[in-house]
Amino acid sequence: MEILGIDVGGTGIKGAIVNVETGKLTSNRRRIPTPNPATPEAVAETIQKIITHFKWKGPVGCGFPTPLQHGTCLSGGNLHKDFKNLKIDDFFKAKTGNDFTIVNDADAAGLSEVAFGAGKNVNGVVIMVTLGTGIGSALFLDGKLLPNTEFGHVLHKSGCVFEKYAANSVRIEENLSRKQWGKRLHKYFKHINLILSPDLIIVGGGSSKKFSKFEAQINIKTPIVPAIAENDAGIIGAALAVKQGLK
């Protein structure tokens, strides 16, 4: 069974056709820069370009970088304020003609890793943390997703949310070395470890490819590993959400 998965990010929107039985991409990835400003109309147009590129007529799974509840954005996230309170599954269907299953982008990445990657067959509490424009999270108990967590929004002692202190976008903006950034991530993962006591932490997002460059700075007892699918996890999980009937 093949499904088109699309991963909407703060800097890029990418998609591919996925075999949801194996978790493998069956096409090349298509990536288009996220429009600026990333209004609902502009994002929908970019998603349509990806659908057209693949000549896709079926349902689409879409990982989306905002807090969500049943397909409705609770805020504009790192995209645009006009997404707040927009039911984007219906909006995208109206714009493209395709049925959409919308899940949080970190939840999508987590679904991929729990089904096919680093979290496969791991019982207990597993948390996926994506490091990108922001910090996303996906929480699982015995392989079952507890959707729509936002552990990038836990507070740092400075009073700001941790994603404003330790996201990959902050590393770039402040020109931090990987070692300096790793020390910030240590504080974040130490805090997450305290409040959740997970059995495994999986690091996803674009930074998962560079995990070895900051791994040594993170010193916690819980095993912490990079996502096996690396930056494709969001695409794979978005497609898998369609198969699983998530809303």
Render pLDDT for 116-159 as a digit per residue (tens, 0 to 9).
999 999 999 999 999 988 899 999 999 999 999 999 999 998 88
Q: What residues contact residue 37 under an 8 Å CB cut-off, 6+ apart?
A: 80
Q: Which residues pair with 129 in a beta bridge?
A: 137, 203
Render pLDDT for 184-236 as a digit per residue (tens, 0 to 9).
999 999 999 999 999 999 999 878 888 999 999 999 999 999 999 877 889 99
Please name the helix (run of DSSP H) or strand (run of DSSP E) that holds residue 189, with its range, or none. Answer: helix 178-196
Q: What angle do CA 233, 231, 69 make, to 5 degrees?
A: 50
Distances from the Cα of 191 to the Cαs of 37, 66, 170, 182, 188, in angstroms? 34, 22, 19, 14, 5
The pTM assigned to this predicted structure is 0.92
Block residue for tokens 């770039």: 172
Q: Which domains does the chain have, with CATH numbers?
A: 2-107+233-244 (3.30.420.40), 120-228 (3.30.420.40)
